[in-house]
Structures are given as C-alpha cells and as structure tokens.
C-alpha cells in the first residue's frame, strides 16, 4: 500500500510507514540539489493525507446474498408492522407524558429497536432510494398478507385482488416523495405529510386499476336480453306441460285489480283497461291456465303502453309490473306438474323464477328509462337529468324498491346522489346557452360587450353540462347492468384509506 503526501502543492506517493521527517527527506532528495539547500524561511512539515479507497464492487454471489438479506428484513419488519404501529404509538404517548412531567426516562420504540437488532445480526440495510422503496414495498406486502391470513373474514381479508396491490404500491410511491420533501424542506413533519397524502391517492388509483384488471371487461346486459331470457323461460315451462293452478291464477288477477285500484283506476275513464280485464276473466274460466296464457295476459297489458292516452299508459305499467311480480315469486305449490312429474316441475319453476324476477325488475327499470313523456313536459332538461329523475322516483317507491337487494338499493341511491362533482357541475351547467333562451341571449349580448368574459363562461357552462351528462349516463348504465343481472357489488373498502394505512404501518425509511 502507498500513502499520498503533499508538499508545496505537489502530491507524492511514498511507501506506508514513513514518519513525516523521513517522507520530507525522500521528497527533497527526489527534487535534486537546489531544492535540498536550506531556505531562509521555515518550512512547515508536510502532513500525510491518505486518500480514501473506492468501495469495492460486489460480486454476483455477494449481491444475491445482500438482496436475500434485504428481503428477509422486509419480511420480518412487515410481519411485525401491525404490532409495531401499536407499540410505537404507546411509546410515543408515554414519552410525551414523561416530557410533560419533566422525567428524563424514555420508552424505546419497538420498530427502531427491531431495526437495530437486525443490523447487529448482520442483516443488510437498504442504501439507495430504489432499495428503500423496494424495502417498504416488501414490508407492506408482507403485513397486508399477514393480516389477511390472520383475519380472512375481516375487511383485511376481503377483495385481495385490489387490496394487496393497493397496500404494496402506496408506500413504495410515498418513499421517494418523503425523501425529496425532506431534502427540500429539511422537515420530517413535512416529509411525513407529503408521503401520507401521496399514498392515499396512489392506493386508490392502484386498487381501482387492479380491480378492472381482475374482473376484465364485463358484458353489458340490456333490457332485450332479460326479456329474451324470460320468454325462453316461459316457453320451457310451457313445453313441460306445467300449468298455473286455478287458485293461483285467480290470485294473479286479483293482484292486478288491487294494483289498479291503488292507482286510482276508474273503469269509465279507462275502457281499454276494462276490456283487458274482461279477457282475463274469460281466461280464468278455464280453470288451470298454461304459461302461454300467462304470457298472453302480460302481452295484452303491455300493448296498452302504446295507447295515446297518458292515463292508460300509466295503468298498463301497473298491470305489467303486477303480473311480473306475481310470477317472480312462484313456488312449486302454485303450479300443476306436467308429464314430467312433480320433480321436473319443481326444478323447472325454480330455474325459471330468476328469469321471471329479472323481467319484473326490468319492467320497473324500463319505466325509468322511458323519458319521452317527461321530455315532452320539460324540453330544456338534459337526458341525464331525466334519467336521474326516474331513479329519484324509483327510490321513493317502497314497493318497487323491495324488488331489489340492499346493495342494489344503495346503487340506485348512488345514481340519485351523483358524483362528488355533481353539485359543482350543476351550478356551472346553468351557464350553458343551450339550457335556456335567456342564457343564450345573455351569452350573445355578453360576447359582444365583453367577449373575453362571456365566451369562456358560456364555454365552461357547455363543457360542464356535457361532462355531467356523461358521468350521470355512465353511472346509470353501470347501475342498470348490475340491477338487470343481480350482480351489483356490495360496499367496497376505501383503497384511499387502505393506501394510507399501509404507509402508516410501513413509513418511509430515512
């Protein structure tokens, strides 16, 4: 090994182990005779300044060992993260209390003691920003997986396809944000706040993306699909020779009449409805009735929906809904078995009942989407607003809401409530010149007097109106598809909160 010495601004490389005097002698000897003569001014002794050696590059084997050690550190700290966050909170509270009373005793933080212990055991520590981000990601994945395994029926064990990516990626994104914030501000508090803010947003985004990837593109079910399935169900039941008992058929017609009476039906003012009811009576005289007869009864009522009289159309909706509601709750005791016997009848009815029920729900939803009449009464309203009004009417009808499950009812109410931007967009959309002649005239006059103000306001109003329509339409279509197929999901955990919690349990490393 050699040591570097500096003399009169020049560096000299000499063997290790020389004293300063010996080193000076060798340097002067190397300079020749002129430099060896003593000078009048005293010469300070050169100070040996050994240079730092460059760190050795690790070999492949050493690097593999290091990465395995980092992974082990991540697993250990991840498994203990739920316990650490609790004990660290208690330690912090105890230390605050000790500080208040003037005590110098401090309770150590378990997470810090654990990290020191792992280092003392020879477990490597992350050195670069990439390694630190990977470390907190490993910790977060391990802690999320551990909690899911420990409590599979809790919120931590639900929807892992979304939850695990959200919990893993959020702390990884928070790590570099915390480092940059600390470097710029010098404040640990600012770094923590920035990290938590980013982790929530990243957690939500990651959870949503993971959910879309996991579920894939779902086919959209339409009203026509539901009606076709119900028609096939009617045909299958009819082909089996299964019939509605005379008693149940009478109950069906009685329910239709009761529904009409509750809807202020007056025979003198609704002759087409009275005519259909007489046909129902003639069908009942046959005793047991086939499902072809049931389909005929429904078709007669459905044809009244095209009547030019608004009152007839309203009553026709009630008649169709009443028939669908009755058929959707049929049980084997309500029917007479056909040639296949009672076992075949039971299986056929139970298989068909879901399609009958979906048809009943589809009829209710069809009324929501049938906005032509409402549009005629309120021509300035947008299509999205009219559909939303239909959902409001549905949500207010307890009898119709009973057709839907709790999750489905929440989906309907969510459409009514609108998105978080709905209130703001409603206010801005009022400035859309398309909404009213007054606004259009005002926009035109303003564009002449103050074009730099009027034109941007009108454009913003137009854009807000179209954006609100798009969001409402998407919300309604999503709800419709779930309602028609009975696949409306239950309440989902907040992935914003999940990302936040994951970063709190696995905070950025300094």
Read off the pTM: 0.48
User: Residue 320: which of 365, 269, 375, 376 has the closest Cα?
Assistant: 365
Q: How far is residue 116's CA from residue 139's CA, in Å, rounded to a whole number? A: 16
Which of 34-43, 187-196, 198-207, 283-292 is the least confident region? 34-43
Which H, E and C letters describe 131-157, residue by residue?
HHHHHHHHHHHHHHHHHHHHCCCCHHH
Q: At a CB cut-off of 8 Å and minimum separation 6, what does 140 contact?
A: 78, 81, 167, 168, 170, 171, 172, 502, 503, 505, 506
Long-range contact set of residues 99-105: C-beta below 8 Å, sequence gap at least 24: none
Q: Are 182 and 192 in contact (CB under 8 A)?
A: no
List, for residues 427-456, the tens digit of each pLDDT value. 777 766 665 544 445 544 555 555 555 566
pLDDT at 108 exceeding the cut of 90? no
pLDDT at 31 exceeding the cut of 50? yes
pLDDT at 40: 35
Measured CA distances, 351 to 231, 234, 330, 332, 354 (Å): 13, 11, 11, 11, 7
**% pLDDT > 70, the chain:** 81
List, for residues 282-328, the tens digit of each pLDDT value. 999 888 888 888 888 988 998 998 898 989 988 998 898 888 888 87
Residue 14, phi then psi, degrees to nearest 5: -125, 160
CA atoms within 13 A on the CB side of 118: 20
List, for residues 257-271, the tens digit of each pLDDT value. 999 999 899 999 999
pLDDT at 370: 67
Produce one character per residue of 428-456: b if its CB has 16 or more CB atoms within 10 Å, e if not: bbebbbbbeeebeebbeebbeeeeeebee
């Amino acid at each position: 090994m050699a040591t570097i010495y500096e003399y009169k601004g020049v560096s000299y490389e000499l063997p290790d182990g020389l004293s300063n005097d010996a080193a000076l002698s060798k340097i002067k000897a190397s300079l020749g005779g002129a430099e060896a003569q003593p000078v009048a001014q005293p010469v300070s002794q050169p100070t040996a300044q050994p240079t730092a050696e460059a760190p050795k590059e690790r070999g492949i084997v050493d690097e593999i060992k290091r990465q395995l050690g980092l992974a082990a550190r991540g697993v250990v700290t991840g498994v203990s993260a739920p316990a650490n966050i609790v004990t660290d909170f208690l330690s912090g509270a105890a230390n605050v209390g000790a500080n208040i009373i003037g005590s110098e005793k401090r309770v150590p933080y378990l997470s810090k003691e654990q990290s020191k212990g792992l280092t003392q055991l020879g477990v490597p520590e992350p050195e670069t920003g990439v390694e630190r981000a990977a470390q907190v990601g490993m910790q977060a994945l391990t802690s999320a997986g551990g909690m899911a395994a420990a409590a599979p029926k809790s919120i931590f064990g639900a929807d892992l396809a979304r939850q695990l990516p959200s919990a893993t990626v959020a702390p990884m994104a928070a790590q570099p944000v915390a480092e940059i914030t600390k470097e710029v501000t010098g404040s640990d508090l600012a770094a923590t706040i920035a990290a938590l803010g980013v982790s929530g947003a990243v957690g939500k985004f990651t959870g949503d993306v993971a959910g879309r990837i996991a579920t894939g593109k779902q086919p959209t079910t339409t009203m026509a699909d539901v009606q076709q399935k119900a028609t096939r169900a009617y045909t299958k039941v009819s082909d089996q020779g299964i019939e509605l008992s005379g008693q149940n058929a009478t109950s069906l017609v009685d329910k239709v009449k009761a529904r009409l009476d509750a809807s202020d039906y007056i025979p003198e003012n609704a002759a087409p409805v009275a005519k259909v009811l007489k046909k129902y009576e003639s069908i009942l005289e046959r005793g047991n009735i086939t499902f072809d007869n049931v389909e005929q009864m429904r078709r007669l009522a459905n044809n009244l929906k095209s009547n030019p009289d608004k009152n007839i159309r309203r009553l026709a909706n009630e008649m169709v809904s009443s028939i669908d509601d009755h058929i959707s709750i049929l049980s084997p005791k309500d029917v007479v078995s056909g040639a296949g016997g009672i076992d075949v009848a039971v299986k056929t009815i139970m298989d068909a009942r879901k399609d009958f029920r979906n048809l009943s729900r589809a009829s209710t939803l069809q009324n929501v989407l049938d906005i032509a009449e409402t549009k005629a009464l309120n021509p300035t309203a947008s299509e999205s607003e009219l559909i939303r009004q239909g959902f409001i009417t549905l949500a207010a009808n307890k009898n119709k809401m009973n057709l839907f499950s709790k999750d489905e009812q929440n989906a309907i109410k969510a459409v009514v409530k609108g998105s978080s931007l709905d209130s703001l967009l409603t206010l801005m959309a009022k400035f859309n010149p398309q909404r009213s002649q007054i606004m259009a005239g005002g926009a035109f006059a303003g564009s002449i007097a103050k074009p730099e103000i009027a034109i941007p306001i009108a454009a913003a109003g137009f854009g807000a109106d179209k954006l609100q329509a798009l969001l409402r339409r998407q919300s309604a279509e999503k709800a419709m598809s779930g309602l028609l197929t009975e696949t409306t999901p239950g309440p989902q955990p907040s992935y914003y909160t999940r990302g936040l919690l994951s970063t709190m349990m696995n905070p950025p490393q300094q």
